[in-house]
Structure 1
């Protein structure tokens, strides 16, 4: 039964999913890239300085930028990064909040090279070069459209897709993983639900809650790696712990000592080694 304090905490927040979502998640940055129509179906990718692309102009040759349309009518931008000629898996990456694919591009490329995987990124509606505005329903439509492109245009089999969600990106990642038989799932700085982030004393999913990841995770049947920084002051590590406990096929998690919400990346050796073990060894044992 809920305590009086819990009820006060909850109803001080407007009890509408869209309000919860806007408070928690959607802060599209100024676009860090643009797509210029080169030919009828080809786009030239132009990074702004804010993208901080760390590789050469020749490396950009391995990035194919395209548009696709979601079932909610928005045209969203996607990047397909051919990082390896021998890759078995392609990572479908759903990024965090205040970034777009331009900001993430160097990370995507470096991660793919390190893990011997190709990487497919997309921008949520209203982010980067994508049309529309971000909502919870659009998150689900966006990843569904990205997955469709990856498995049809690029002919990647679902069992060779690794869904990777970071922060708010864990929301569409888990939703898609409940509906598609993919090769694996990676949840990085995952949240249980919107209300549980805004009001930490909340111990149940209310009917007006947004992003109910904790209620969906039990339906995910793919091997799942949970990663969370122990010093995360945006989404407390308790979220990662509870998701790990509820996940049917969770593998050994990675709780990263001395790291928070945004600094578990390619500079962190434990992170890279855990990912490589998961993809190159543990998935091979399935």
Structure 2
């Protein structure tokens, strides 16, 4: 997350505060799009075109198997969605991960990771880009990302006939913010929080001990209503301190055994073998 400049601090503590402005400064860094979504000749199906910056690691056949489309949110933005169907030969789970990715990436950059994770876990993965990211219209704001994930959730349920109890909400970094907000409002199979943050102010000012009305991303106030939860965090996270993950875990009413990855930072947890092992154990053995 970005640090705050002096003008940002002035806006934060002005009267009234400007939480939307601070939210965009703190969290949202949309990359240059690494893909495009174009309708085919019938206009009923969309085609995915990846740029070299997406660093696609699989074959063209596997790329064509990715289903992409646009859905309109309650705030009027059309956001891009991607469905990765599991094609592994190992036993396939009944669950679908609704994946809210981290900052400074888009669906194009995440696509290879999704294909690999889907195969290794034996699950389908459904993801979306926040407003202003990738092929999604609009601008990234706190209110927009809440509307974005809700549109994705409803689309997953209706388009693919996935029942809520078979949806696992997975949030990574800034993606834990809309994940927790949605999980507070809707029943789902489970929640996975990867490098979660307590709130925007607590990231910018680590000594903050209480919640303020002008704080952004107040996940700490919502997490007591979320269950069941698996929390994952690196002990050497240089962006969102490990203390955030620990506090989120302690506030969960029904958290399972967390995964604290010793020595991991903010962007390398996936490289540790225990990452996939813990996810597989959680999905296949610990959920009903």
* Matched position secondary structure for 1:35: strand
1:46 equivalent to 2:49? Answer yes
Aligned to 2:112: 106
Aligned to 2:169: 163
* Matched position secondary structure for 1:80: strand
Aligned to 1:276: 280
Aligned to 2:3: none
Runs of 4 or more above 2 Å deviation? 10-13, 84-87
Q: Which moved more, 1:12-21 or 1:112-121?
A: 12-21
**TM-score with structure 1 length normalisation?**
0.93
**1:14 maps to which of 9, 12, 15:** 12
1:56 equivalent to 2:59? Answer yes
For the 8 Å contact 2:234–2:260, the answer to whether it is kept is yes
**2:34 maps to which of 32, 35, 41:** 32
Aligned to 1:172: 178
Shift of 1:20: 2.2
| Cα deviations by residue, 1:139-165 (Å, 9 ceiling, x for unpaired) | 100000000000001100000000000
RMSD between superposed Cα atoms in Å? 1.3
Aligned to 1:3: none
* Matched position secondary structure for 2:148: helix
Aligned to 2:142: 136
Shift of 1:12: 5.8
Question: How far apart in 2 are the matches of 1:52 and 1:249?
Answer: 38
**TM-score with structure 2 length normalisation?**
0.92
**2:122 maps to which of 116, 121, 131:** 116
- Unmatched segments (≥5 aa) in structure 1: 1-9
For the 8 Å contact 1:62–1:83, the answer to whether it is kept is no
Shift of 1:11: 6.2
Question: How far apart in 2 are the matches of 1:99 and 1:282?
Answer: 30
- Unmatched segments (≥5 aa) in structure 2: 1-7
Aligned to 2:242: 237
Question: How far apart in 2 are the matches of 1:57 and 1:249?
Answer: 42
Aligned to 2:263: 258
Question: How far apart in 1 are the matches of 2:176 and 2:258?
Answer: 15
Q: How does 1:184-199 map to 2 (within 5 A)?
A: 184-199=190-205
- Tell me how many residue pairs correspond in the alignment: 273
For the 8 Å contact 1:20–1:195, the answer to whether it is kept is no
Aligned to 2:213: 207
Shift of 1:23: 2.2
Aligned to 1:5: none
| Cα deviations by residue, 1:205-224 (Å, 9 ceiling, x for unpaired) | 1110000000000011x311
| Cα deviations by residue, 1:95-145 (Å, 9 ceiling, x for unpaired) | 111000111111111111111000001000000000000000001000000
Question: How far apart in 2 are the matches of 1:11 and 1:46?
Answer: 40
